[in-house]
Amino acid sequence: MGSHGKCWLFTNGDDGNCYWCYCNKYSDDMEKEFKRQVYSRSGYACRKVHRYDHTPDRGYELFV
């Protein structure tokens, strides 16, 4: 997914939970903020972020 259009960021947290957020327009800064929020919520660094073209069917929504 190479575009900078809308997408959903998703990660499996090391705390056993999944996290996601909606991005109206993807940017590197948006992904960095998502990673910061995952760390703040879970206490673990976010290692890998996936971009989906649909709403994830599980996990906790974060508002970035």
Report the pLDDT value the prediction gives residue 2, as an integer from 0 to 100. 52
Report the pLDDT value the prediction gives residue 5, as an integer from 0 to 100. 83
CB count within 10 Å of CB 13 equals 19
Q: What is the pTM of this model?
A: 0.88
Report the pLDDT value the prediction gives residue 3, as an integer from 0 to 100. 59
Helix, strand, coil distribution of the chain in percent, nearest 5: 25, 25, 50
- The 10s digit of each residue's pLDDT in 12-46 is 999 999 999 999 999 999 999 999 999 999 999 98
